[in-house]
Amino acid sequence: MKSLLLLLIVCFSFLVFIPRQTQGIQFLVSCGSNSTSYADSRKWVGDDLSSNNNFTLSDLGIAAFNSTSVEDTGYTGFGPLYKSARFFSTSTSYNFTVDPGNYCVRLHFYPFQFGNYNSNDSAFDVSANDMKLITKFNISDEISWKAEKTNSNITSVVKEYYINIDLNGLQIKFVPNLNSFAFINAIEVLPTPDNLFNTNITKVGSNGLTTITDRAMETMYRLNIGGPKLKSTSDQFLYRNWDSDENFMFSVNAATMVHNTSEISYVTLNYSSVAPLLVYETARVMGNTDVVEKRFNVSWRFFVDPNFDYLIRLHFCELIYDKPNQRFFKIYINNKTAAENYDVYERAGGMNKAYFEDYFDILPQQTDTLWLQLGPDSLMSGPGTDALLNGLEIFKLSKNGNLAHVLDWTSLNGNIHPHGSAKKRLLIEEICFAIACVLALILISGGYCWYIRGKKKSKMAEDAPPGWHPLALHEAMKSTSNARPSNQVVKKYVSTPSINNRTGRKFTLSEIKAATKNFDELAVIGTGGFGKVYRGEIDGGSNIVAVKRADPLCGQGLKEFETEIEMLSKLRHRHLVSLIGYCEEKGEMILVYEFMANGTLRSHLYGSPPPADVLTYKQRVEVCVGAARGLHYLHTGSEVGIIHRDVKTTNILLDEEFVAKMSDFGLSRAGPTLDQTHVSTAVKGSFGYLDPEYFRRQQLTQKSDVYSFGVVLFEVLCGRPVIDPSLPKDQINLAEWALRWQRQRSIEKIVDPRLKGDYSLESLKKFAEIAEKCLMDEGKNRPSMGEVLWQLEYVLQLHDAYIRERESFRSTGELPFGDVPHSLSHIREDE
């Protein structure tokens, strides 16, 4: 009897839990179309009412068809759908006949031109039954935001929602804003398995559960961690796209990718609709096995809409270890502990078993970033300290019947530009081409160097309205994002027509003259081999810029100048000084850069007059991390890689928030693949920073930059010039002198006394070790810039941990583990 009952329960649970794709009908609607089309390997019906499709449209609006309108990235596979759209100038709704239940709704928007209607001019609200999905939709803002936050070159917006429908029918309503109109390209309504989301979810930072009912959700991110993009065709249930995660990682080098494709299965059958198995085949684990003590976090950062609650779904599957206790870790969401002592093997009950874990978190007020971090469990020190993650989804939860968030660039400006290299991939070919041109330029123009140097920094920093840089950057980004497919681009290089708007803003000479008070000598903030750099005010004084005016005697040709602009405008990165625009008029060749309020790194380390404010140890490390990131991008951001060739503290500039940016990279040269010529006659670079190997063999590699960067690291640590002829002979050359101390493991004796010992000794030692490795005699023994970057981040974490321990020591009186506050006992030997 009992077993019969059990059998019944088992059968019943199968009935309930096996996801049925055909539970309810699905709608794939191609709006504005009168025919059936195939896109994304699926069949879509036109919304023309001549056939009964089980849905109605309250107002026909305007059916728009434009055969030349094609989505140009070819990435989504939705091209055919984006040839038609429907425009509405009055409130209009699609009514779908559906049963009560859970549905996934996707809305496709693609900028579309039809007669006088251009989607770019539309402004409207969208709701689904009573749930507000979108307010004040602005397609071009939406695309720019997404392209930037996800570091991709998207051209369309697909919004995905999960909605519970409790009465018959789904009404998707488009309401144009005042004097405007609405548009839509395609709509998907897909029934979802009831058990796709649990109602009771672990709340981060408390031991309790949160019950989520009657809330709608919007998908913010869906990532295949450590693996490639997965197309919708690999998901038989909901046709979800999975992006790759590297653009969201705080430090890609902190984690390595692993995969195992054999025999992965779901922990329980009902998980099969949660994510395709492909997601579980790849993962990231903690990187860099050199570090015995893995005291760091693997971190991902996401931009999200402020003032909402989020559901964070982590997908796990242990791919490597076949027993428990091999790796356990902590999960942090928004710097709060979500789980401790987490052992994937144990939770799944085995290896290669796929499952997921959901967390609920309320973002702090006004926060627009969401952090996910996996780190060691300090209670469990030892070899088992490692982390793993296979997939990640972030959903925004509705609040009081609302999911809409109005993008507000002005309020976001303070926080845009995560760290990534926007438009990287799109531009690779263009960069290659530009590099070839720059090579030619270098050969022609020979020795040629320029730099901006910020002076009178504090006054100017006050003058500069906060947060204008990102705005200017954003304008420039927008113009580069307009790039069309590449055949046009190549032609452009060949025929050199006048520069178009992809290269940033074009200034007139009179604008430049007004900005610099007719090249006022008082506005000069630096000079270089090519001419002078002026501080300029544009846009009626609201924006400050650095204006580089080429000296006509320098002989740089117009064509090279244009190539230079092209190249510079392609190299966009938070840690590279960006080009805002240019001016070519009456034989003048002028470049306009973002203004770096805090000038050169060197001016903050030493010199005359001595720097007023001493950079703290943490600031110094952060500056080095930033510069390393910029260099790493130069080295790896394009296929050929770019060698800076003149890494030094005067080419590292600091903005008003002391964010470090590399400058002078426009004159760098392409990496080894293009560098077969070896025509370089004189060894270029700056004395004191020069790679001895480059000197010997006249061969340039990225490791030459690493060497120079090593010198920078010692310069930052010791706070003295790289060459100081006033010192005794054995101290003149910083690199040699510092290396001697470092080899004796007594680097702390020559640290900048102005730091007053306010740093973690452990962190300092690590820092010096990196510098030492960078200065290895042979390039092949030096680390790559990526490794340097990763190690420096570790240095920062060591220091932060020390500060935290010291604070807790101060507040609790308990002696911390590890570092004893050595500053108490530490005595510096005077030179």
Ligand X SMILES: *[C@@H]1O[C@H](CO)[C@@H](O)[C@H](O)[C@H]1NC(C)=O
| 756 interacts with ligand X by CB under 6 A | no
| 141 interacts with ligand X by CB under 6 A | yes
Rounded to a whole number of angstroms, the minimum distance from the CB of residue 763 to ligand X is 12
- Interface residue with ligand X among 21, 23, 91, 95 (CB under 6 A) is 95
Stretch that binds ligand X, among 49-57, 304-312, 392-400, 431-439 (CB under 6 A): 49-57
The nearer residue to ligand X, 335 or 411, going by C-beta atoms, is 335
Structure tokens at 104: 């996934």
Q: What's the first-to-final CA gap in the chain, in angstroms?
A: 91
- Interface residue with ligand X among 36, 73, 508, 518 (CB under 6 A) is 73
Stretch that binds ligand X, among 138-146, 462-470, 552-560, 764-772 (CB under 6 A): 138-146
Residue pair 39/119 in contact by the 8 Å Cβ criterion: no
| 13 interacts with ligand X by CB under 6 A | yes
Which amino acid appears at position 583 of this protein?
C
Active site includes 539?
Answer: no
- Interface residue with ligand X among 280, 296, 468, 709 (CB under 6 A) is 296
- Interface residue with ligand X among 14, 121, 456, 831 (CB under 6 A) is 121
Structure tokens at 511: 């604008």
The nearer residue to ligand X, 394 or 589, going by C-beta atoms, is 394
Structure tokens at 454: 């910020």
Identify which of 298, 305, 304, 314 has the alpha carbon closest to the alpha carbon of residue 359.
314
The answer to whether the bond into 609 is cis (omega within 30° of 0) is yes
DSSP structure class, residue 71: -
Rounded to a whole number of angstroms, the minimum distance from the CB of residue 426 to ligand X is 4
- Interface residue with ligand X among 271, 359, 530, 709 (CB under 6 A) is 271
What is the sign, positive or negative, of the torsion defined by CA atoms of 779, 781, 787, 791?
negative
| 637 interacts with ligand X by CB under 6 A | no
- Which residues inside 769-798 make contact with ligand X, applying CB under 6 A? 797
């001595």: which residue's tokens? Answer: 610
Q: Rounded to whole angstroms, how far apart are CA atoms 692 and 707?
A: 9
Structure tokens at 404: 């809409």
- Interface residue with ligand X among 69, 192, 251, 763 (CB under 6 A) is 69
The nearer residue to ligand X, 326 or 373, going by C-beta atoms, is 373
| 123 interacts with ligand X by CB under 6 A | yes
- Interface residue with ligand X among 36, 41, 90, 200 (CB under 6 A) is 200
The nearer residue to ligand X, 54 or 746, going by C-beta atoms, is 54
| 809 interacts with ligand X by CB under 6 A | no
| 102 interacts with ligand X by CB under 6 A | no
Rounded to a whole number of angstroms, the minimum distance from the CB of residue 772 to ligand X is 24
Residues in Cβ contact with 220 at an 8 Å cutoff, skipping those fewer than 6 apart:
302, 304, 305, 310, 394, 395, 396
Identify which of 472, 481, 485, 471 has the alpha carbon closest to the alpha carbon of residue 501.
481
| 54 interacts with ligand X by CB under 6 A | yes
- Interface residue with ligand X among 23, 53, 135, 823 (CB under 6 A) is 53
HSE of 692, CA atoms in CB hemisphere, 13 A? 10
- Interface residue with ligand X among 320, 362, 432, 727 (CB under 6 A) is 320
- Which residues inside 27-46 make contact with ligand X, applying CB under 6 A? 34
The nearer residue to ligand X, 712 or 761, going by C-beta atoms, is 761
Residues in Cβ contact with 531 at an 8 Å cutoff, skipping those fewer than 6 apart:
450, 548, 549, 550, 551, 554
| 425 interacts with ligand X by CB under 6 A | yes
Structure tokens at 346: 């144990």
The nearer residue to ligand X, 564 or 622, going by C-beta atoms, is 622
**Is 548 one of the annotated binding-site residues?**
yes
- Interface residue with ligand X among 42, 62, 75, 340 (CB under 6 A) is 75
Binding mask 239-268 for ligand X (x = CB under 6 A): ---------------------x-xx----x
Rounded to a whole number of angstroms, the minimum distance from the CB of residue 377 to ligand X is 10
| 114 interacts with ligand X by CB under 6 A | yes
**What count of residues does the chain have?**
831
| 138 interacts with ligand X by CB under 6 A | yes
| 65 interacts with ligand X by CB under 6 A | yes
Identify which of 505, 622, 528 has the alpha carbon closest to the alpha carbon of residue 575.
622
Q: Rounded to whole angstroms, how far apart are CA atoms 625 and 590?
A: 31
Q: Which of 40, 125, 368, 646 is catalytic?
A: 646
- Interface residue with ligand X among 228, 446, 465, 485 (CB under 6 A) is 485
| 390 interacts with ligand X by CB under 6 A | no
Rounded to a whole number of angstroms, the minimum distance from the CB of residue 353 to ligand X is 10
Distance of CA 530 to the CA centre of its chain: 34
Q: Which residue is nearest to ligand X (CB)?
A: 195
- Interface residue with ligand X among 118, 232, 680, 823 (CB under 6 A) is 118
């993009």: which residue's tokens? Answer: 229
Ramachandran bin of 9, using left for φ above 0, alpha for ψ from -120 to 50, beta for the remaining angles: alpha
Stretch that binds ligand X, among 4-12, 291-299, 490-498, 666-674 (CB under 6 A): 291-299
Residue pair 686/646 in contact by the 8 Å Cβ criterion: yes
Structure tokens at 175: 């309401």
Stretch that binds ligand X, among 106-114, 397-405, 606-614, 783-791 (CB under 6 A): 106-114
The neighbouring-strand residues paired with 459 are none
- Interface residue with ligand X among 352, 413, 603, 702 (CB under 6 A) is 352
| 823 interacts with ligand X by CB under 6 A | no
541 CB burial (10 A radius; 0-12, 13-18, 19+): exposed
The nearer residue to ligand X, 33 or 650, going by C-beta atoms, is 33
Q: Rounded to whole angstroms, how far apart are CA atoms 212 and 201?
A: 7
Rounded to a whole number of angstroms, the minimum distance from the CB of residue 262 to ligand X is 4
Residue pair 186/30 in contact by the 8 Å Cβ criterion: yes
Stretch that binds ligand X, among 52-60, 280-288, 398-406, 747-755 (CB under 6 A): 52-60
For ligand X (CB under 6 A), the number of binding residues is 63
The nearer residue to ligand X, 69 or 600, going by C-beta atoms, is 69
722 CB burial (10 A radius; 0-12, 13-18, 19+): buried
Which amino acid appears at position 182 of this protein?
A
Q: Rounded to whole angstroms, how far apart are CA atoms 198 and 117?
A: 43
Residue 629, SS3 per DSSP: helix
Structure tokens at 258: 């692993």
What is the Rg, in whole angstroms, of the alpha carbon atoms belonging to the chain? 29
Ramachandran bin of 3, using left for φ above 0, alpha for ψ from -120 to 50, beta for the remaining angles: alpha
What is the sign, positive or negative, of the torsion defined by CA atoms of 240, 245, 247, 250?
positive
- Which residues inside 536-555 make contact with ligand X, applying CB under 6 A? none
Q: CA–CA distance from 363 to each of 210, 239, 266, 637 (Å)?
A: 15, 29, 31, 33
Q: Rounded to whole angstroms, how far apart are CA atoms 564 and 589?
A: 11
| 152 interacts with ligand X by CB under 6 A | yes
| 25 interacts with ligand X by CB under 6 A | yes
- Interface residue with ligand X among 482, 677, 726, 744 (CB under 6 A) is 482
Structure tokens at 548: 């580089």
Stretch that binds ligand X, among 134-142, 230-238, 543-551, 810-818 (CB under 6 A): 134-142
Rounded to a whole number of angstroms, the minimum distance from the CB of residue 758 to ligand X is 19
Structure tokens at 794: 């570790």
Strands 588-594 vs 579-585: parallel, antiparallel or unpaired: antiparallel
Binding site residue list: 548
Binding site residue list for ATP: 548
* Catalytically active residues, by annotation: 646
Can you give the binding site for ligand X, defined by CB under 6 A?
A: 13, 17, 25, 34, 53-54, 56, 58, 65-66, 68-69, 73, 75, 93, 95, 111-115, 118-121, 123, 138, 140-141, 152-153, 169, 171, 195, 198-200, 211, 260, 262-263, 268, 270-271, 274, 295-297, 299, 320, 332, 335, 352, 371, 373, 375, 409, 425-426, 482, 485, 797, 801
